[in-house]
Amino acid sequence: MSKRNKLLKFAEIQSFPNVYENPYTAEPQLLGMHGESVDLKGKWSKEHFKNDNPLTLELACGGGEYTVELARRFPDRNFIGVDVKGARIWKGSKIALTEKIDNAAFLRTRIEQIALFFAPGEVDEIWITFPDPFLKESKANRRLTSPQFIAEYRKILKNGGIVHLKTDDPTLYDFTVETLQNDEGCTILYHDDNIYAKELPIPELDIHTYYEEQHLAIGRLIKYVRFLING
């Protein structure tokens, strides 16, 4: 993608009513349309979605394929795709606006700052879809299922909230299972290192992201972990 196209998409999402941004890592704040400062912590469902439905986050959402498709399938739930890349978020937010999918929104922020924008117990469920596995051992703490990130999820998930990880990477899969087994506050509900070799445990696993399509095309096996986090 050219630099010009990225800049155009950055500019366009600032006019989208379903996109919020935290562009200043050192001085975090939530900005809505046209850069207006907003406070939605503890109020996402009531003030943005205008309902009291359960809230699901998709972390490292990329183009938002999972966020948008989950919102289509579950109109009685609210979904927010989270990614640090505004040009990626543009795609999903544009589709949601065009199709009038009002239960899908997007947040551009670093995921390690997620607890700044959601209240304790505000989130019911988290999906982590094909994140960067950070294969170097020196960067293991940047993996989205590392103890540091699980501690952040614990701050915003309701007690017993569910987290889903979908990945093609065996290192991240094994790391996640081991991390969860060592955390007394987490319970693994299901894990499989080749989900498409058998009947899917939940139907929404048949949603394919852009990256998953690439992985499948070269014969990569898709892995899945579902776990709950207690407070």
Residues labelled as active-site residues: 132
Q: Are 23 and 101 in contact (CB under 8 A)?
A: no
Over the range 168-182, which residues count as b (16 or more CB within 10 Å of their CB) and which as e?
bbeebbebbbebbee
Angle value at C-alpha 51, between 46 and 56, nearest 5 degrees: 85
Amino acid at 94: K
Beta-carbon contacts of residue 24 (< 8 Å; ≥ 6 apart): none
Task: Record the tokens describing residue 54, joined without a space.
Answer: 């359960």
Can you tell me the distance from the alpha carbon of 5 to that of 229, in angstroms, rounded to the nearest whole number? 40
Angle value at C-alpha 191, between 178 and 171, nearest 5 degrees: 45
Can you tell me the distance from the alpha carbon of 228 to that of 48, in angstroms, rounded to the nearest whole number? 26
